[in-house]
Amino acid sequence: MIRHFLFFTLFFLFWACEAPSNNDPIKGEVSGEMVYKNYCLTCHGPKGNNKVANKLMLNQSELPDSLMRTKILYGAGSGMPAYKKMLSEEEVTAVIHHIKTLRN
C-alpha cells in the first residue's frame, strides 16, 4: 500500500517537474494555445485583451500573418521580445493561428 503511495508521489513529482510543453498531448501536435499560454499570456492577456505598452490589444491587431511572424521572431518596439531562439517555425505558425481566433 505505502509502496503504491510512494510510487504515485514520485510519478507526480516527475510529471510536475517536466518543462512546460507546447504540445497538445491529446492531439499530439503543436498547440498554438499552449504556446500562447506559455509565452505570450503574461503580457498580452488571456484573450489578447491586455493593453501592452499603452499600444494595442493583440485581439485587435490587423497585421497580416507575415508581419506578425516577423514581430514574433525578431521582437518589436518597446517590450515585445524576440522568439527566434525559443520557438520553432511550427510553433510560430500555430500561435499566429491562435491569435487570430482571439479576434472579435
Interface residues toward ligand HEC, by CB under 6 A: 39-40, 42-44, 52-53, 55-56, 58, 61, 63, 68, 71-72, 76-81, 83, 95
Contact 73, 84 (CB under 8 A): yes
Looking from the CA of 91 toward its CB, the CA atoms found within 13 Å total 19
Q: Distance between CA 96 and CA 44 in Å, rounded?
A: 13
Nearer to ligand HEC, 66 or 78 (CB): 78
Nearest residue by C-beta to ligand HEC? 77
Task: Give min distance, CB of 91 to ligand HEC, in A.
Answer: 8
Task: Give min distance, CB of 19 to ligand HEC, in A.
Answer: 16
Q: Distance between CA 56 and CA 104 in Å, rounded?
A: 14
